[in-house]
Structure 1
Amino acid sequence: MKYQIKTRGLHCGHCDASVEAALLKVAGVTDADADHETNTVEVECTQDTTPESLTAAIEGASENFAVVSIEIA
């Protein structure tokens, strides 16, 4: 399963790396690619991974990060 997540608060490559690292700790996530230029994150994961767990990981990576929307890609 693949999700495209629109975010707010990613400003640099370090932000991207923080979000990617947080997402890769979520059970079932196999790949995460954050892009601060477009404020999007693409995540590949198993069907058991919930959008809520992805949101929690992103928003937990920094108090400045927020999820705007999550769509199945």
Structure 2
Amino acid sequence: MNYTIKTEGLHCGHCDASVETELMKVAGVTDADADHETNTVTVECDGEVAPEALEAAVCAAGDAFKVVSITAA
């Protein structure tokens, strides 16, 4: 299952990398691609991953990062 996460607080490539690194730590996540220009993150998963786990990972990447919405793609 894949997810699209709308975020706030991504301002540069370093922000993208921080969020991607934390998301890759979530069990089942196989790829994460953050884009600070659109404030979206595309997440590919092997199986089903709880949206709460994805939100927690984004928030763990830094205090400035917030999740606006998570949709299954």
The residue that corresponds to 2:61 in the other structure is 61
Give TM-score scaled by structure 2 length. 0.97
The residue that corresponds to 1:5 in the other structure is 5
Q: Distance in 1 between matches of 2:45 and 2:27?
A: 8
SS of match in other structure, 1:20: helix
Structure 1 spans left out of the alignment, 5+ residues? none
Report how many residues are paired.
Answer: 73
Give TM-score scaled by structure 1 length. 0.97
Structure 2 spans left out of the alignment, 5+ residues? none
How do residues 23-38 of structure 1 correspond to structure 2 at under 5 angstroms? 23-38=23-38
Cα RMSD for the two superposed structures:
0.7
The residue that corresponds to 2:72 in the other structure is 72
| More displaced stretch, 24-33 vs 47-56 | 47-56
Letter in 2 for 1:65: F
Letter in 2 for 1:9: G
Q: Distance in 2 between matches of 1:51 and 1:36?
A: 20
SS of match in other structure, 1:23: helix
| More displaced stretch, 63-72 vs 43-52 | 43-52
Structure 1 residue runs of 4 or more that deviate by more than 2 Å after TM superposition: none
SS of match in other structure, 1:11: coil
Identity of aligned residues (%): 68
